[in-house]
Structure formats: C-alpha cells, structure tokens
Amino acid sequence: MSARTTSLWVALLAATTLLAGCERPPVDSVQRGFRGTGMELVYNPRTEARVAAANQAPLVTPPGDSDAGPKAKDIYKNVPLLGHLGVAEFTRYMAAITEWVSPQEGCNYCHDPANMGEDSKYTKVVARRMIEMTQHVNADWKPHVANTGVTCYTCHRGKAVPLQVWFKAPPQDLKSNFIGDRYGQNAPMQMVGLSSLTYDPYSLYLLGDQTIGIGAATALPTGHVASILHTEQTYGLMMHMSDSLGVNCTYCHNTRNFKTWEGAPPQRTTAWHGIRMARDLNNGYLEPLTKSFPANRLGPLGDVAKVNCATCHQGVYKPLYGAQMAKNYPVLLESASSAAKVADGLPPPMSEPTRSVLYFGVGSSTLEGEQAKGLILLIATLSAKPAAKASISGYHSASGELAANQQLAKDRAVKVRDSIVAAGIAPARVVLDKPLQAEANLSGEEPAARRVEVSVK
C-alpha cells in the first residue's frame, strides 16, 4: 500500500471518528425569533418519532357523579383521601391508578388481599402520599403546570417506579488521590450530554437551593461570586433541562443575552417555577418518605428516588404533549392546602423572577400565612440577584377616603420594604413608588385592591 493510499485511509478514518458524534441529516428547525438572531429550535425527526410514541396519553374512563350512591368511607375502611367519593367514582379512581402505576401487579401491589384496609405494605403508604403530592402540584404549582395538571401517569407511564428518577451521586474515592479531586466532574454522563460537566447538578439545584448564575451584570472585578466550577454546575443543570424537554437553549433564553429576562421567551418563567417545584417536591414529599422504603429501593447513599425535569417531561416540551388528563379526575386538582389558602379570602401570592404580588387583609398592613411565604420567596430572589433592584408599589381601592387609602397602601409597601432590608438586602436596592389606585370597579373588599407589587430589575 502506497503512502498516498495510507494517508487517504487515515484521513477517512479520522473524518468518520469526528462525525460519529454528529446526527445524520435531515434535521428540522423551527424559528422562534427574528431572522438572523439564531432563535430557532433544531429537531431530529427520527428522534421525535420515537419520543412521540412514548408520550401518548391513555384512554380515560369518563367521570361519573362523584356523589352518586353510598360514600366510599361508609363501605371501605381506611380511605382518608378519597372516602368522600361515591363508591362508583372511588372505584374508577382506583382502577385508573392501578392502570397508571401497576398494571402488571394489579391491586395487590399496594393492598394486602387478606385485608385491603390495612397499611402493612410500604407501597400503600407511599401511594397515599403521592396522591397528596399530585394534588399539591395541581393546586399550588399552577405557574408551572397551568390548568393542564398532572396525574400519576404523567410520571409512572405504567411502571411501578418512574423511569426517570435520580439518586445522590457517590463522592469520589480519594483513597488513591494521585488522580486529583475531580470535583464531581469529568465522568461523562448522559444526564449532562456526555460532557465533562458536573454529573450531579440535581443535588445542588433540585434538592439544595444553590444560586443558578454564570455571568456578572457589570465588568470585573465587582464581587461576582460565580466561579468557573459554579458556572459548569449551572450548565450541567441546563444540559439536563434541554435533554429532558427535547429542546435547545433558545426555548427559554434569548440569544441576544442569555442572562437577562428582558426579551426572554415566556417558557423561561415557566421553567423558573418548575425548578422550584421539583425542589419543593423532593424536600417536602419524597425525602421524608425515605424510612418508608426498603433498602433495595434506595440509592447507593441510602437516599430515596427523587424527581427532576425528565420525570414528567420524558423528552418532550410538555408532558404527554399537553394532554389534559387531570381534568377527568377532579379530586386530583384540589388539595387541603389550597382550601386553607382561600379561607382568608386571599389568593395565593404571586412569585416570579421579575415580579411579586402580595395580598393583605382588610385594613391590615401585616402579611400572614401564605402571603408571608411569598415575601420569603421574594427575598430569596433578590438574594440570588445581587445587582437587581426592587421597586415597591402599594395599591388601594378607588372607594372610600382617598387619604386614608393612600396611607394604608404606603404602610403596606413600607412594611414589605423594611422586611426586605431586615433580611440583609441593601437599602439602596429597594425603592418605594407612589401608592397607586386599583381598578375603579374594585372595592376595598377585593384582594386586588389590597396588594403590594414588587418589580425586580
């Protein structure tokens, strides 16, 4: 073989190796912004066809009259969550949950056939808590799930254990430290696109609340604290989110400036709530169940399986392409916590990356209950954005004495400002605006006439 032939073969082999990581054409692209800005999504039709087949919603048995016939609690024992349903409707729910979670194992996966009412199986204890978690998501996380909602099938897809869950990654064994500390990196994992990025971003962001940030708002040096490691950890989470939804960066970010919220697609706000929702579910529902699971269901560090973006989305931008299954199971759309929220006549506080809305009782300048929690979320947002400033506006009703209304609106805004400053936010970052009048058709009894809005920029 001549030297020329050998060189050709080497070049061909090198080209083949280089292209092995690329997707073969054709690929499709969808424009999401102005031409020439790179605001487009790229899809592989072969991958899309495979993912689409795995994201079809099952057939739904239409709901009946939930009050028809005797109550389930009068017929069956130990049915605290669904006992208020009529027997027929209760049976429909049980059949649906069985089909969603354990179609092969059947009812006996959770129930002891000798005594269906007892809680001797851990799966029944867990299942009851998961129903409560589903209700919590649908009722309290509407900024993420909207009116579509979720059911058990959203995650389980006919499997007793959802396909997409995660456990804490074991730390590096440093007994033989000649290879150095990898800081949780350089072990290519599918979750971060087979890159050398941090292979456990979930523990940092979906269990812990480490700040997501990579770029400074001003020229260096200005006290910016996002190190290269911190930046790589953030990118690890972003790779996971992109892969989980089957989209690229421009689904949530504007190519002009990935950091800024100005001009970003609305999906970025939805994703912001989704990160916090996953963190809430992992800490509030799943971690507390650790002792309920047998050892074989725990991870290598003894922790329980937890959720991330892929648990629900499974490769598509909306779980099951937005199929509205939950509306056919109305009990899953309500929760006891939601009932408690509206007991004082106030809607839940609004907490978004660039805007928060807090509601007050009639004649009161004190935040209580869920409204106080909304203030805590606002403070967390400001703490995570050291360069951001908060502009606070108090609203008042168009009815009643103007001077008194304006003073009360100011008192509420001042109370919010003082709480923010007391939490460690610099006073220069918090600005009070003139009290504003709510819409003319709102009386003093309407919550919208008794609110404080905070704009974060």
pLDDT at 22: 64
In a domain, 23, yes or no: no
72-81 own/partner pairs: CB under 8 Å, 24+ apart: 76/116, 76/117, 77/116, 77/117, 78/117, 78/118, 78/119, 80/128, 81/128, 81/131, 81/132, 81/331
Question: Is the model's pLDDT at 174 over the cut of 80?
Answer: no
pLDDT band at 387 (very low <50, low <70, confident <90, very high): confident
Same domain, 353 and 443: yes
Question: Is the model's pLDDT at 201 over the cut of 80?
Answer: yes
The boundaries of the domain holding residue 116 are 56-160+323-334
pLDDT at 422: 85
In a domain, 43, yes or no: no
Q: The tokens of 197 are what?
A: 């990025």
In a domain, 25, yes or no: no
In CATH, what number is assigned to the domain containing residue 396? 3.30.1330.60
Question: Is the model's pLDDT at 311 over the cut of 90?
Answer: yes
In a domain, 420, yes or no: yes
CA distance 371 to 374: 5
Same domain, 109 and 184: no
Question: Is the model's pLDDT at 118 over the cut of 80?
Answer: yes
Strand partners, 394: 452
Same domain, 207 and 154: no
Same domain, 209 and 132: no
β-pairing, 390-396 vs 430-432, is parallel
Q: For the purposes of burial, counting CB atoms within 10 Å of the CB of 189, is it exposed (0-12), middle (13-18) or buried (19 or more)?
A: middle
pLDDT band at 20 (very low <50, low <70, confident <90, very high): low
In CATH, what number is assigned to the domain containing residue 250? 1.10.468.10
In a domain, 219, yes or no: yes
User: What is the maximal distance between C-alpha atoms in the chain?
Assistant: 99
pLDDT band at 98 (very low <50, low <70, confident <90, very high): very high
What is the total count of domains within the chain? Answer: 3
Same domain, 297 and 182: yes
Per-residue pLDDT, averaged over 340-353, amounts to 67
Same domain, 152 and 193: no
Query: What is the C-alpha R_g of the chain?
Result: 26
Same domain, 223 and 150: no
Strand partners, 431: 391
Same domain, 183 and 291: yes
In a domain, 112, yes or no: yes
> What is the number of other CB atoms lying within 10 angstroms of the CB of residue 128?
17
CB within 8 Å of 152: residues ≥ 6 apart: 96, 97, 100, 101, 130, 131, 134
Same domain, 70 and 138: yes
- Percent of the chain at pLDDT above 70? 85
Transcribe 347-362 into DSSP letters.
Answer: PPPEE-SSEEEEE--T
pTM of the model as a whole: 0.76
Instruction: Name residue, tokens 């703490």.
Output: 383
In a domain, 169, yes or no: no
The average confidence (pLDDT) of the chain is: 84
- CA contacts within 13 A on the Cβ side of 423: 19
Same domain, 151 and 217: no
B/e letters for 58-84, b = 16+ CB within 10 Å, e = fewer, are bebeeeeebeebebbbeebeebeebee
Same domain, 183 and 77: no
CB within 8 Å of 275: residues ≥ 6 apart: 205, 206, 212
CA distance 10 to 5: 9
